[in-house]
């Protein structure tokens, strides 16, 4: 009855009405990917779902397009979490840890603490949610691949540099970008941000990695890296607990509701 009550109460909110996504299975790491241009008609409504700190961060953006993109990102993240655990979006408290990464204090799924991660770039946002341990997600615009060869030494472990030495362009730059997003996802799952230099560790897709540094949950000792299918314009990866099934959903508003397409 509580779930029905909040759904009826929130139904008048246009963005809530346009968003519907099924609950998250306990043993899943669910990643939602949204193209922000699909949600542009609801940009004014997004502002209403932000908390005070989120509004302050949005207001600090210099350009209007950046403010609108960030407002939509924050609002859709809150809606994604709310729908996954079937609570009112206004009751979802999204905090920030010491490194500025999002966290969900007090929120649980079947008695398990929830972990979340967020990334946005060039008109797309990705949200990861898991109840089995820390999670990290990163998405980057594919054109960024052109910028990476010049800093390959800072991105790659020496053995990775050796492995990529035989790659010709554009495969070399694309492989570097894929490596970048995997390492960013792993660092987010660890909760250390860029305090750990990328060149000091390897990050192969499908491999298990023990979490280092100030992991948000010491009970989750390792994660596995997976690339995500997010289309040609972007490159994305997730670091999820090894025993979690990774599920990626492409989410779009369709006639007042959401269509979810499985992408992984």
Distance of CA 103 to the CA centre of its chain: 12
Total-model pTM: 0.89
- pLDDT: which is higher, 257 or 15: 15
Q: What is the mean pLDDT of residues 141-170?
A: 93
Q: What is the pLDDT of residues 58-71, one digit of tens each?
A: 999 999 999 999 99
pLDDT digits (tens, 9 = 90+) for 76-119: 999 999 999 888 998 999 998 877 889 999 898 888 899 999 99
* Percentage of the chain lying above the pLDDT 90 cut: 67
What is the reported pLDDT for 134?
Answer: 92
Task: Give me the chain's average pLDDT, please.
Answer: 87
Q: What pLDDT is attached to residue 145?
A: 95
Cα 227 to Cα 237: distance, rounded to the nearest angstrom: 4
State the average pLDDT over residues 249-258: 72
pLDDT at 111: 87
Half-sphere exposure of 46 (CA within 13 A, CB side): 21
Per-residue pLDDT tens over the stretch 190-235: 887 666 889 999 999 998 988 865 444 444 468 999 999 998 999 9
Q: In which band, very low, low, confident or very high, does the pLDDT at 262 lie, cut at 50, 70 and 90? A: very low
Residue 80 dihedral angles phi and psi, to the nearest 5°: -60, -45
Name residue 209's beta-bridge partners: 223
Q: How confident is the model at residue 256 (pLDDT cuts 50, 70, 90)?
A: very low
Query: What is the number of alpha carbons within 13 Å of residue 211 lying toward its C-beta?
Result: 29
What number is the average pLDDT over the span 153-179? 94
pLDDT band at 131 (very low <50, low <70, confident <90, very high): very high
């Amino acid at each position: 009855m509580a779930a029905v009550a909040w759904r009826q109460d929130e139904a008048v909110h246009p963005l809530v009405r346009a968003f519907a996504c099924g609950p998250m299975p306990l043993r899943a790491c669910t990643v939602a990917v949204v193209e922000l241009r699909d949600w542009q008609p609801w940009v004014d409504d997004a502002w209403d779902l932000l908390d005070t700190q989120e509004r302050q961060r949005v207001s600090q953006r210099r350009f209007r397009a950046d403010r609108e993109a960030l407002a939509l990102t924050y609002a859709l993240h809150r809606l994604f979490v709310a729908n996954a655990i079937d609570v009112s979006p206004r009751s979802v408290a999204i905090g920030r840890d010491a490194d500025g990464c999002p966290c969900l204090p007090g929120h649980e799924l079947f008695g398990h603490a929830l972990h979340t991660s967020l990334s946005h770039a060039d008109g797309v946002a990705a949200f990861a949610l898991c109840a089995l341990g820390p999670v990290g997600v990163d998405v980057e615009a594919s054109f960024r691949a052109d910028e990476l060869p010049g800093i390959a030494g800072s991105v790659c472990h020496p053995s990775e540099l050796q492995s990529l030495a035989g790659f010709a362009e554009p495969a070399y730059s694309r492989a570097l970008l894929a490596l970048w997003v995997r390492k960013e996802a792993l660092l987010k799952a660890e909760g250390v941000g860029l305090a750990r230099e990328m060149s000091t560790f390897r990050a192969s897709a499908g491999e298990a990695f023990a979490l280092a540094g100030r992991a948000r949950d010491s009970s989750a000792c390792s994660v596995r890296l997976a690339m995500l299918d997010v289309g040609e314009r972007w490159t994305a990866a997730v670091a999820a607990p090894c025993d979690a099934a990774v599920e990626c959903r492409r989410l779009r508003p369709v006639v007042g509701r959401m269509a979810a397409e499985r992408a992984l």
